[in-house]
Structure 1
Amino acid sequence: MTVKLHAITFDCVDPQALAQFWSRVLGQDVDPSDSPGIATIGMGQSSPFYVFQKLDGLPAGRNRAHPDFATSDYEAECTRLLGVGASVVAEVKENGIRFTTFTDPEGNTFDLADE
Protein backbone atom coordinates (compact mmCIF):
# COMPACT_ATOMS: atom_id res chain seq x y z
CA MET A 1 0.00 0.00 0.00
CA THR A 2 1.21 3.54 -0.69
CA VAL A 3 0.13 7.02 0.25
CA LYS A 4 0.17 10.27 -1.68
CA LEU A 5 -0.02 13.87 -0.61
CA HIS A 6 -3.71 14.81 -0.60
CA ALA A 7 -3.80 18.35 0.80
CA ILE A 8 -1.74 20.94 2.58
CA THR A 9 -3.78 22.35 5.45
CA PHE A 10 -3.17 25.64 7.22
CA ASP A 11 -4.71 26.19 10.65
CA CYS A 12 -5.46 29.91 10.77
CA VAL A 13 -7.48 32.76 12.25
CA ASP A 14 -8.99 34.07 8.99
CA PRO A 15 -9.36 31.35 6.33
CA GLN A 16 -10.69 33.65 3.60
CA ALA A 17 -7.91 36.23 3.98
CA LEU A 18 -5.17 33.61 4.11
CA ALA A 19 -6.63 31.77 1.10
CA GLN A 20 -6.62 35.07 -0.83
CA PHE A 21 -2.91 35.53 -0.05
CA TRP A 22 -2.08 31.98 -1.18
CA SER A 23 -4.25 32.34 -4.30
CA ARG A 24 -2.00 35.24 -5.34
CA VAL A 25 1.15 33.23 -4.53
CA LEU A 26 -0.05 30.14 -6.44
CA GLY A 27 -1.84 31.95 -9.27
CA GLN A 28 -5.03 29.97 -8.60
CA ASP A 29 -8.51 31.13 -7.58
CA VAL A 30 -10.01 30.44 -4.18
CA ASP A 31 -12.76 27.83 -4.51
CA PRO A 32 -16.35 28.88 -3.81
CA SER A 33 -17.39 27.96 -0.27
CA ASP A 34 -20.49 28.14 1.93
CA SER A 35 -18.48 27.71 5.12
CA PRO A 36 -16.85 30.73 6.76
CA GLY A 37 -14.52 28.41 8.70
CA ILE A 38 -12.96 26.73 5.65
CA ALA A 39 -11.48 27.98 2.39
CA THR A 40 -9.78 25.89 -0.29
CA ILE A 41 -7.72 26.29 -3.43
CA GLY A 42 -7.68 23.60 -6.13
CA MET A 43 -10.08 21.19 -4.44
CA GLY A 44 -11.25 18.60 -6.95
CA GLN A 45 -8.81 19.89 -9.57
CA SER A 46 -5.47 18.57 -8.46
CA SER A 47 -3.63 16.93 -5.66
CA PRO A 48 -2.40 18.29 -3.44
CA PHE A 49 -4.90 21.03 -2.92
CA TYR A 50 -4.78 23.68 -0.20
CA VAL A 51 -7.09 23.94 2.82
CA PHE A 52 -7.35 26.89 5.21
CA GLN A 53 -9.30 26.11 8.37
CA LYS A 54 -10.23 28.38 11.23
CA LEU A 55 -8.79 27.15 14.49
CA ASP A 56 -9.19 28.89 17.81
CA GLY A 57 -6.23 28.86 20.19
CA LEU A 58 -3.46 28.54 17.64
CA PRO A 59 -0.11 27.65 19.20
CA ALA A 60 2.62 30.27 18.99
CA GLY A 61 5.89 29.59 17.23
CA ARG A 62 7.09 28.17 13.95
CA ASN A 63 4.91 25.68 12.12
CA ARG A 64 6.42 22.19 12.16
CA ALA A 65 5.82 21.47 8.48
CA HIS A 66 5.94 23.88 5.59
CA PRO A 67 5.68 23.87 1.80
CA ASP A 68 8.76 24.39 -0.37
CA PHE A 69 8.39 25.92 -3.82
CA ALA A 70 10.97 26.29 -6.60
CA THR A 71 11.31 28.71 -9.50
CA SER A 72 13.65 29.38 -12.39
CA ASP A 73 13.09 33.16 -12.01
CA TYR A 74 14.18 33.44 -8.40
CA GLU A 75 14.75 37.19 -8.02
CA ALA A 76 11.50 38.13 -9.77
CA GLU A 77 9.50 35.60 -7.78
CA CYS A 78 10.96 36.80 -4.46
CA THR A 79 9.94 40.34 -5.40
CA ARG A 80 6.46 39.18 -6.40
CA LEU A 81 5.95 37.29 -3.13
CA LEU A 82 6.91 40.38 -1.14
CA GLY A 83 4.44 42.37 -3.23
CA VAL A 84 1.52 40.10 -2.36
CA GLY A 85 2.24 40.29 1.39
CA ALA A 86 4.92 37.72 2.25
CA SER A 87 7.74 38.64 4.64
CA VAL A 88 11.34 37.44 4.52
CA VAL A 89 12.60 35.42 7.49
CA ALA A 90 15.96 34.30 6.11
CA GLU A 91 17.98 34.15 2.92
CA VAL A 92 20.13 31.03 2.76
CA LYS A 93 22.97 29.90 0.52
CA GLU A 94 24.46 26.55 1.49
CA ASN A 95 25.77 23.47 -0.29
CA GLY A 96 25.13 25.09 -3.67
CA ILE A 97 21.45 25.73 -2.88
CA ARG A 98 19.87 29.16 -2.58
CA PHE A 99 16.49 29.67 -0.97
CA THR A 100 14.50 32.25 0.95
CA THR A 101 12.27 31.46 3.90
CA PHE A 102 9.14 33.61 3.95
CA THR A 103 6.10 33.93 6.17
CA ASP A 104 2.55 34.44 5.00
CA PRO A 105 0.37 37.10 6.69
CA GLU A 106 -0.39 34.77 9.63
CA GLY A 107 3.23 33.79 10.22
CA ASN A 108 3.26 30.36 8.48
CA THR A 109 6.66 29.70 6.95
CA PHE A 110 7.38 28.54 3.42
CA ASP A 111 10.52 28.41 1.31
CA LEU A 112 11.28 29.45 -2.25
CA ALA A 113 14.27 27.74 -3.85
CA ASP A 114 16.25 28.77 -6.90
CA GLU A 115 16.06 25.94 -9.45
Structure 2
Amino acid sequence: MSIAVAMITVDTTDPIPLATWWSEQIGGHIVAENEGYFVVVAPRGTGPALAFQKVDDPTPGKNRMHLDLTTEDLAAEVARLLAAGATKVADREMPGFAWVTLADPDGNQFCVSGAHPAPDA
Protein backbone atom coordinates (compact mmCIF):
# COMPACT_ATOMS: atom_id res chain seq x y z
CA MET A 1 0.00 0.00 0.00
CA SER A 2 1.23 3.52 -0.75
CA ILE A 3 -0.08 7.04 -0.80
CA ALA A 4 1.01 10.19 -2.60
CA VAL A 5 0.53 13.86 -1.86
CA ALA A 6 -2.04 15.15 -4.35
CA MET A 7 -2.92 18.54 -2.88
CA ILE A 8 -1.96 20.86 -0.03
CA THR A 9 -4.94 22.83 1.30
CA VAL A 10 -4.80 26.16 3.10
CA ASP A 11 -7.72 27.58 5.11
CA THR A 12 -8.52 31.22 4.42
CA THR A 13 -11.39 33.66 4.72
CA ASP A 14 -10.95 34.79 1.08
CA PRO A 15 -9.73 31.98 -1.22
CA ILE A 16 -9.73 33.63 -4.63
CA PRO A 17 -7.22 36.45 -3.94
CA LEU A 18 -4.90 34.11 -2.03
CA ALA A 19 -5.11 31.42 -4.74
CA THR A 20 -4.43 34.07 -7.39
CA TRP A 21 -1.38 35.30 -5.45
CA TRP A 22 0.03 31.79 -5.09
CA SER A 23 -0.68 30.88 -8.73
CA GLU A 24 1.31 33.94 -9.81
CA GLN A 25 4.19 33.10 -7.47
CA ILE A 26 4.60 29.45 -8.50
CA GLY A 27 3.80 29.94 -12.18
CA GLY A 28 0.69 27.78 -11.88
CA HIS A 29 -2.90 28.44 -12.80
CA ILE A 30 -6.31 28.21 -11.18
CA VAL A 31 -8.12 25.12 -12.41
CA ALA A 32 -11.26 25.22 -10.22
CA GLU A 33 -13.00 28.01 -8.32
CA ASN A 34 -16.04 26.18 -6.91
CA GLU A 35 -17.94 29.46 -6.42
CA GLY A 36 -15.09 30.88 -4.33
CA TYR A 37 -15.37 28.19 -1.67
CA PHE A 38 -12.56 25.83 -2.70
CA VAL A 39 -10.04 27.16 -5.23
CA VAL A 40 -7.45 24.82 -6.75
CA VAL A 41 -4.12 25.91 -8.24
CA ALA A 42 -2.30 23.47 -10.53
CA PRO A 43 1.47 23.79 -10.34
CA ARG A 44 3.73 24.35 -13.30
CA GLY A 45 5.29 20.96 -14.06
CA THR A 46 4.90 18.21 -11.51
CA GLY A 47 4.03 18.33 -7.84
CA PRO A 48 0.96 18.60 -5.68
CA ALA A 49 -1.78 21.13 -6.34
CA LEU A 50 -2.42 23.94 -3.88
CA ALA A 51 -5.98 24.51 -2.70
CA PHE A 52 -7.50 27.38 -0.76
CA GLN A 53 -10.60 26.58 1.26
CA LYS A 54 -12.99 29.21 2.62
CA VAL A 55 -13.45 29.00 6.37
CA ASP A 56 -15.11 31.49 8.70
CA ASP A 57 -12.31 31.40 11.26
CA PRO A 58 -8.85 30.08 10.29
CA THR A 59 -6.86 28.53 13.11
CA PRO A 60 -4.99 31.37 14.85
CA GLY A 61 -1.24 31.41 15.43
CA LYS A 62 1.70 30.04 13.48
CA ASN A 63 0.78 27.41 10.92
CA ARG A 64 1.92 23.91 11.91
CA MET A 65 2.75 22.84 8.36
CA HIS A 66 4.41 25.01 5.76
CA LEU A 67 5.74 24.92 2.22
CA ASP A 68 9.49 24.65 1.60
CA LEU A 69 10.30 26.10 -1.82
CA THR A 70 13.63 26.08 -3.64
CA THR A 71 15.13 28.39 -6.21
CA GLU A 72 18.37 28.85 -8.12
CA ASP A 73 18.75 32.48 -6.95
CA LEU A 74 17.62 32.93 -3.35
CA ALA A 75 18.20 36.69 -3.10
CA ALA A 76 16.39 37.46 -6.36
CA GLU A 77 13.44 35.19 -5.54
CA VAL A 78 13.02 36.64 -2.05
CA ALA A 79 13.11 40.17 -3.50
CA ARG A 80 10.47 39.17 -6.09
CA LEU A 81 8.21 37.62 -3.45
CA LEU A 82 8.52 40.67 -1.18
CA ALA A 83 7.64 42.97 -4.10
CA ALA A 84 4.60 40.75 -4.79
CA GLY A 85 3.26 41.19 -1.25
CA ALA A 86 5.00 38.60 0.92
CA THR A 87 6.52 39.72 4.21
CA LYS A 88 9.84 38.61 5.63
CA VAL A 89 9.69 36.70 8.89
CA ALA A 90 13.39 35.82 9.29
CA ASP A 91 16.65 34.97 7.58
CA ARG A 92 17.78 31.49 8.65
CA GLU A 93 21.08 29.68 8.39
CA MET A 94 22.88 26.54 9.42
CA PRO A 95 26.34 25.41 8.34
CA GLY A 96 26.35 25.20 4.55
CA PHE A 97 22.67 26.07 4.10
CA ALA A 98 20.59 29.26 4.19
CA TRP A 99 16.89 29.98 3.75
CA VAL A 100 14.37 32.75 4.33
CA THR A 101 11.04 32.41 6.10
CA LEU A 102 8.34 34.57 4.54
CA ALA A 103 4.58 34.95 4.99
CA ASP A 104 2.01 35.17 2.21
CA PRO A 105 -0.63 37.97 2.18
CA ASP A 106 -2.78 35.93 4.63
CA GLY A 107 0.13 35.47 7.05
CA ASN A 108 0.83 31.81 6.20
CA GLN A 109 4.53 31.19 6.63
CA PHE A 110 6.66 29.43 4.02
CA CYS A 111 10.39 29.00 3.43
CA VAL A 112 12.51 29.64 0.36
CA SER A 113 16.01 28.23 0.00
CA GLY A 114 18.71 27.79 -2.57
CA ALA A 115 19.64 24.26 -3.60
CA HIS A 116 19.34 21.84 -0.70
CA PRO A 117 22.58 20.31 0.56
CA ALA A 118 23.22 16.70 -0.40
CA PRO A 119 22.13 14.22 2.28
CA ASP A 120 24.89 12.51 4.21
CA ALA A 121 25.99 9.26 2.58
TM over 0.5: yes
Please say if residues 15 and 36 of structure 1, whose CA atoms lie closer than 8 Å, have aligned partners that are also in contact.
yes
| Structure 1 residue 109, shift from structure 2 partner | 0.6
Q: Which residue of 2 aligns with 1:106?
A: 106
Q: Which residue of 2 aligns with 1:39?
A: 39
The number of aligned residues is 114
Tell me, in whole angstroms, the C-alpha distance in 2 between the residues paired with 1:73 and 1:46. 20
Please say if residues 32 and 41 of structure 2, whose CA atoms lie closer than 8 Å, have aligned partners that are also in contact.
no
Normalised TM-score (structure 2): 0.87
Tell me, in whole angstroms, the C-alpha distance in 2 between the residues paired with 1:46 and 1:99. 23
| Residue deviations 1:11-48 (CA, integer Å, cap 9, x gap) | 001100100110111011222424211111118x8541
- Identical-residue share of aligned pairs (%): 34
Structure 1 unaligned spans of 5+: none
Tell me, in whole angstroms, the C-alpha distance in 2 between the residues paired with 1:88 and 1:111. 10
Tell me, in whole angstroms, the C-alpha distance in 1 between the residues paired with 2:7 and 2:86. 21
Alignment of 1:1-115 (within 5 A): 1-42=1-42, 46-115=46-115
Normalised TM-score (structure 1): 0.91
Tell me, in whole angstroms, the C-alpha distance in 2 between the residues paired with 1:35 and 1:62. 28
Q: Which amino acid aligns with 1:113?
A: S
Please say if residues 24 and 84 of structure 1, whose CA atoms lie closer than 8 Å, have aligned partners that are also in contact.
no
Q: Which amino acid aligns with 1:27?
A: G
Runs of 4+ in 1 over 6 A off after TM superposition: none
Please say if residues 38 and 52 of structure 1, whose CA atoms lie closer than 8 Å, have aligned partners that are also in contact.
yes
| Residue deviations 1:30-88 (CA, integer Å, cap 9, x gap) | 22424211111118x85410100001121210110001001111111011111111100
**Bigger shift: 27-36 or 12-21?**
27-36
